Amino acid sequence: MSRRSAPGAVFGVLFLLHCAAAPAQTNLIGYWNPLFHEDVDERIPGPSIGDYLGLPISDAARLRAEAWDASLLSMPEHQCKPHPSTYGFRGVGVLRIWEDRDEDTQQLVKIHTHIAWQEQHREIWMDGRPHPPEYAQHTWQGFSTGSWEGDVLVVKTTHLKAGWMRRNGLPLSDRATMTDRFHRYGDVMTHVSIVEDPVYLTEPLVKTNGFLLAPAGTMTPYPCEPVVEVVRDPGLVPHYLPGKNPFLSEFGERYGLPREATRGGAATALPEFAETLR
């Protein structure tokens, strides 16, 4: 043993003691299939225009959404956009989770999540590093750091690009942040997202949805090449001017829901709102 080995032995003992005191960490590694037993209308075919039921949106969010035209998605610039991490876990596509560990120390450095649709790849740093300064680049998946609360993985995400909270034009700003949580119960995982946005939300938006472990899961690539689907005049961006969107009332009329419900807002999520509908 060299002269440097004695401190090494001390470190080794301290390391073992540290491990014994660390909280449990659930193994999230593997393939997970999203469950669509909730919000299926929104998540599979896509939400209706003007459906903001139960969402704590601001007036600014509603104004932006009412100007949104689905034809926007046919523009080459928009065809290959991945979901932002604030929405991706509610979208379609298999989820794969794996981890990076330091080869020498076996310390957990990073957890990766990858969702098949548009290849949404997220890195969750587990090594205690701080978030970068505000001027750092904002991306679809943002910058994420994780920690364990017991056996629950808790992730904080900042540095998001401006995105969406629902695929019918409801926006999120680049000031949005997210805390998400991964709760595992056997082969079921419940994902919780808590999104805060001082621009487009009046209170945090909390969503929960499920995944089912897929022991024989697979994932295929999702290459995307934009093409010209619709020939448009240069500079034309599909939109509706305020008050000109003809589709806003269709959803409510189809299901017999009043406009004050479909317009959303925090109050529409509370039990007492249901009483006003009787």
State which of positions 81-120 bind another protein (CB under 8 A).
105-108
What would the two tokens of residue 152 be? 């629950």
Q: For the chain, what is the radius of gyration of the CA atoms?
A: 22
Size of the site for another protein (CB under 8 A): 80
Query: Smallest distance, Å, CB 124 to another protein?
Result: 10
Contacts of 180 (CB under 8 A, 6+ apart): 85, 89, 154, 155, 157, 191, 192, 193, 194
Residue placing its CB nearer to another protein in the complex, 115 or 205: 205
Query: In the window 40-69, what residues touch another protein (CB under 8 A)?
Result: 40-41, 53-56
What number of H helices and E strands is found in the chain? 8, 11
CA distance 44 to 62: 22
CA distance 142 to 151: 24
Smallest distance, another protein to C-beta of residue 122, A: 15
127 binds another protein (CB under 8 A): yes
Residue 117 CB contacts under 8 Å (≥ 6 apart), including other chains: 82, 83, 88, 91, 92, 93, 222
CB-nearer residue toward another protein: 71 or 190: 190
- 118 vs 166, which CB is nearer to another protein? 166
**Alpha-carbon span 220 to 193, nearest angstrom:** 26
249 binds another protein (CB under 8 A): no
By CB under 8 A, is residue 267 in contact with another protein? Answer: no
Interatomic CA distance for residues 137 and 154, integer angstroms: 23
Comparison of 10 and 80: residue with beta carbon closer to another protein: 10
- Least distance (Å) between residue 4 CB and another protein: 10
Of the candidate spans 11-19, 70-78, 213-221, 223-231, the one that interacts with another protein by CB under 8 A turns out to be 11-19
Instruction: Find the angle CA(152)-CA(97)-CA(132) to the nearest 5 degrees.
Output: 75
Which amino acid type is present at position 90? Answer: R
* Contact between 31 and 219 (Cβ < 8 Å): yes
Q: Name the one range near another protein by CB under 8 A: 9-17, 80-88, 135-143, 241-249.
A: 9-17
Which residue of 67, 194, 213, 214 would you call a contact of another protein, by CB under 8 A? 194
Q: Which of 59, 132, 136, 149 binds another protein (CB under 8 A)?
A: 149
Stretch that binds another protein, among 218-226, 228-236, 239-247, 265-273 (CB under 8 A): 265-273
By CB under 8 A, which span of 68-76, 187-195, 214-222, 224-232 interacts with another protein?
A: 187-195
